[in-house]
Every structure is written in structure tokens, then in C-alpha cells.
Amino acid sequence: MHFECSRVYTQYKNINSVESSTLLNKLISNELSESAVLPLSSLSNLAIHPLREKLYNELHNRPFHSISSPAQLTHIAIQHHGELKQQEHDFISLLCNRFQVNSPAKSMPCFYQDFGLFSLRWERHLEYSTYTFIHQAPLTHQPFVKNAIDYVPSNWFEKMPGQVIAAVHLVIESESIEKARTHKVEQFFDNMSLIASAPVHSQAKVWSSFKLHEDGFGRFLIYQEDLSAAQLGRLAQQLLQLDTYRLMATLGLPLAQAINSELNQLDIQLQQVTTYIALGTEKSDRELLTQVSKIAAKVEDYRSQSTYRFSATNAYYDVALQRMEELKEEEIPGYMTLQEFLMRRITPAVKTCQTASSHLEDISKRVTRASDLLRTRVEMVLQEQNQTLLKSMNHRAHVQMRLQQTVEGLSVAAISYYGMQLFETMLTSLPTLGVEYNHELVSGFAVPIVIGIVFVGTRLIHKRLMKGLK
């Protein structure tokens, strides 16, 4: 095919510029039709990436569910820290078996089931899971008097694994926006100060206090008139996710506040150590090294406690901002919008976590630099000590050499003396052999000769030994 296309391009180069466009299309069409094969109808003959199907399904993993109005929802977020997977599956299966419906598969991250009077939507996330109970029926009473969770067996919740981090009731009413303005909504929120806005380009009104009521739940109230079931489902999910994400985003605030006070103390201690190192005070290197080690250990302990939490805070904060933007809110006179209220509350908390994280990283780098300075100081002291030790060793070696030379001189005299004794002993045996000589004369001449032989022999042995050492 590459050869055929090259031939087409070669022909194309020889064509005038006026006819180039038309003729090129014809040439390519003719060449491809001549070499065409049957169309590709299946990927069975191609190598498929093992994650391709999973990546496709990920887009549809947690879809919005349509919710018709009126409806009541109860949303509970349970923190499990990435654990309790089997316990959660057993917990949901217990409810499904009780109502004789299908249980979720163990590998499913999301589960939806209709139980008759209510339906359950369950989602498992990295460190928390959400349970959303939905009851769709006209209200026979005021909002929040009876909620979706009231249709679920109460004894089932006794075995719920994990810790509740978020819990909120949401009520959807089908009333005109103008009529909703006349309602005294405060009475549904125990006369608390309210936050309100008109999301979805003013097609609905949302009310909330973002406070806990006597039952321990938060509350959302939606008035709508023309929204479709899909739009209502998306709006409800955005509000519930927003409430969960803003709590998860501020989960690191108490930790940041506790760490900040400790970091200020470590900052002062580290500054003192650095001053001691710079000025060379009476503190020993061992004491300074002990202080730096203690500071480094505390910093690493705080980092291990906070790194994941602060990273998760930033991630949840970004998602919360995204959900706020997706609401497409418009202001209601006299009320703060949800985005305005949450931004004024969440942003300082997130900034506090970010400040603590930055401060922690800064102290960690300073501890490293202080350790390097102290290590350099210790190395310099060790070098000085080593130089002094080397000088002392050289001096000792020189003294030993002198002593050795003295001993060698004395040894020459001693060996020469014993050598003369052996020589005289040999001379006493000569008369028995009939050899006549002057004993005193021979002994006198033999003394320098023996001394010279011993001296030369000693030097030769010394040179040979020194050569072997080299």
C-alpha cells in the first residue's frame, strides 16, 4: 500500500497546479479501489489493550439516576480508610437478602437496587462509601418530618461498618418558583439562618443551613417546576456530593491546626541549633547532633501523619469547586449562594492545610541543611584530629627509627664481641695442628675485620627487609 501511495504522489508531482486538486483525488481513489480488501468488521485479529474495556466502562461507572419529583433522599457517607470491603459487602447483602433481591458483586464499586418503598444507591470510593436512600412519593406532611431513611429497617443500621462523616436529608418539591418564594422556608430548618440560590439557570431553588439538626442530619430543600427527571437526578447528586466533598476537604483542618503549633516550636529549636553551629558556642557536636536528630524524627513523624491527608484535602477541594461550578447558580436577593458561602468557609481551611504542609516541607529542608552543616563541622574536626594523629604517629615512627638505629649499633658491638670470642676459640686450636702464630697480633688485626663483617652484614639485612616492606 505504501508503494502504491508513493506512485500516486509521484504522478501528482508531474501535474500542473491548476489540475492538481481534482486529479489527485481521482488518482488516490482509483489506486485504493484497485488494492482494496474486505472492510474491517471486527477487532478479533488485532491486539487489544487489556485495560481498554475497563477504561470504556469507567465513564459509565457511576451514572446519574433519574429522580422524579416529588422525592425524598437520605445520604450517608461512611469513612472506612480503604478497608472494610468485605464488611460492606456483607452489610449490603444482609439488606438484599432481607428483601429477597440480588446482592452486589464483590468487585462492584457502585450498586443500585430498588426495594419497593425505597431504593438504594451505594458507591465505594478510596477512603469512604456513600449510601443514598431514595423514596419517591408525594409528601403527606411538611418536609423533613418523615424522610427516606424511615422506610429502611432501623436495626439494619446497627451493623453498618465505618464511621459517619456526612449525613443529610434532601427533599424535592414540585412547586412553582414564584409560589416557593412565599413559603417561610426557615420553619423547615428550625429557624436557622439559611443559604439559598437558584441553580440550573434559575430553574430551581435550593435551600440549606449547612448545620446539623436535632436528628444529626443536615438538610437540603429543592423547589422546582420544569426540570426533567434526569436534571433532578443530576442536581440532587451534585448537592449530595458537594456536601460530602466539602466535609472531606476540611477533614485535614484539625490535623493542620495541631501540627502548626508544634511546627512553631520546632522552628524555634532549629533556629537555636543553627545559631549554635554558626557561632561555635560551648555546646558540643554530640549535643547539637542529638537535637537535630530529635527535630528530624518529629518532622518525619508529622509528615507520615499528614502527607496523605493534606494531599486528599487538595483533591477533595478541587472536586468541590467543580461541583459548585456545575450547579450554575444564580443569586437570590437577601441570601448568600452555596458557592459564596462554602468558598468563604472551605478555602481558609484548605489554605491552612496547605500552609501546614509547606511549613512542614520547609522545616524538613532546613533540618537537612542543618545536618549537612553539622556534618561538615564534625568532618573538619575529625580531619584536624587525624592530622594531629598523623603528626604524632610520624614523630613516634621517627623516634622508633632512631632507637632502632641505636639498637643496631649496639647489636654490631655485641655480635662483634661474640664473634671475636668464637675466633679466639678457633685460634686456640691451631697449635695442636702445628701452626705457629702470634696470638695477640692476630687477635688485634681480627677485631676491625670482624666488626666490619658484622656491620656490612647488618646493613645488608636491613636493606633487604626495608625493600620487602616497600
- Name the pairing type of β-strands 163-174 and 218-224: parallel
Provide the pLDDT for residue 5: 45
Q: Is residue 267 part of a domain?
A: yes
Question: Cell digits for 19?
Answer: 489540475
Give the structural domain span for 459: 397-469
Domain end: 363, 388, 413, which one?
Answer: 388
Q: Is residue 298 part of a domain?
A: yes
Q: Do 405 and 367 reside in the same domain of the chain?
A: no
Question: Cell digits for 125?
Answer: 470510593
Q: Do 404 and 310 reside in the same domain of the chain?
A: no
Q: Do 105 and 84 reside in the same domain of the chain?
A: yes
Q: Exposed (0-12), middle (13-18) or buried (19+): which is 247, by Cβ within 10 Å? A: buried
Largest CA distance in the chain: 158
Q: Cell match 662483634: residue?
A: 416
Domain end: 388, 416, 434, which one?
Answer: 388
Instruction: Evaluate if residue 315 carries a pLDDT over 90.
Output: yes
Question: pLDDT confidence of 2, banded at 50, 70, 90?
Answer: very low
Q: How far is CA 333 from the centre of its chain?
A: 44
Q: Do 401 and 384 reside in the same domain of the chain?
A: no
Q: Do 286 and 401 reside in the same domain of the chain?
A: no
The neighbour count for residue 250, using CB atoms within 10 Å, is: 21
Provide the pLDDT for residue 42: 67
Provide the pLDDT for residue 280: 67
The C-alpha atoms of residue 150 and residue 336 are separated, in whole angstroms, by 31
Q: Is residue 220 part of a domain?
A: yes
Q: Do 27 and 77 reside in the same domain of the chain?
A: no
Instruction: Evaluate if residue 321 carries a pLDDT over 90.
Output: yes
Q: Residue 405: CA atoms inside 13 Å, Cβ hemisphere, count?
A: 5
Q: Three-state SS for 229?
A: helix
Q: Do 79 and 207 reside in the same domain of the chain?
A: yes
Q: Are 353 and 310 in contact (CB under 8 A)?
A: yes
Average pLDDT, the chain: 82
Instruction: Evaluate if residue 202 carries a pLDDT over 90.
Output: no
Question: pLDDT confidence of 133, banded at 50, 70, 90?
Answer: very high
**Long-range contacts of range 108-115, CB-CB < 8 Å, 24 or more positions apart?**
109/61, 109/62, 110/61, 110/62, 112/65
Q: Is residue 197 part of a domain?
A: yes
What are the residue ranges of helices labelled H in 174-226?
Answer: 177-181, 199-202
The C-alpha atoms of residue 259 and residue 255 are separated, in whole angstroms, by 6
The C-alpha atoms of residue 167 and residue 148 are separated, in whole angstroms, by 12
Question: pLDDT confidence of 1, banded at 50, 70, 90?
Answer: very low
Instruction: Evaluate if residue 36 carries a pLDDT over 80.
Output: no
The C-alpha atoms of residue 136 and residue 158 are separated, in whole angstroms, by 25
Q: Is residue 367 part of a domain?
A: yes
- This prediction's pTM: 0.72
The C-alpha atoms of residue 126 and residue 132 are separated, in whole angstroms, by 17
Q: Cβ contacts of residue 51 below 8 Å, gap of 6+?
A: none
Q: Do 367 and 403 reside in the same domain of the chain?
A: no
Q: Do 85 and 223 reside in the same domain of the chain?
A: yes
pLDDT in tens, 383-417: 877 888 888 888 888 887 777 767 777 777 777 77
Q: Is residue 233 part of a domain?
A: no
Q: Is residue 54 part of a domain?
A: no
Q: Is residue 240 part of a domain?
A: no
Q: Do 451 and 309 reside in the same domain of the chain?
A: no
Q: Do 223 and 255 reside in the same domain of the chain?
A: no
Domain count, the chain: 4
**Long-range contacts of range 200-204, CB-CB < 8 Å, 24 or more positions apart?**
200/227, 200/231, 200/235, 200/327, 200/328, 201/328, 201/330, 202/177, 202/330, 203/227, 203/231, 204/177, 204/235
Q: Where residue 261 sits, what CATH number does that domain have?
A: 1.20.58
Instruction: Evaluate if residue 429 carries a pLDDT over 80.
Output: no
Question: Cell digits for 150?
Answer: 424511615
Domain end: 346, 371, 388, which one?
Answer: 388
Q: Do 193 and 263 reside in the same domain of the chain?
A: no
Question: Cell digits for 375?
Answer: 556534618
Provide the pLDDT for residue 240: 95
- Name the pairing type of β-strands 110-114 and 71-79: unpaired
Secondary-structure breakdown of the chain: helix, strand, coil percentages, each rounded to the nearest 5: 60, 10, 25
pLDDT in tens, 252-281: 999 999 998 888 888 888 888 888 777 766
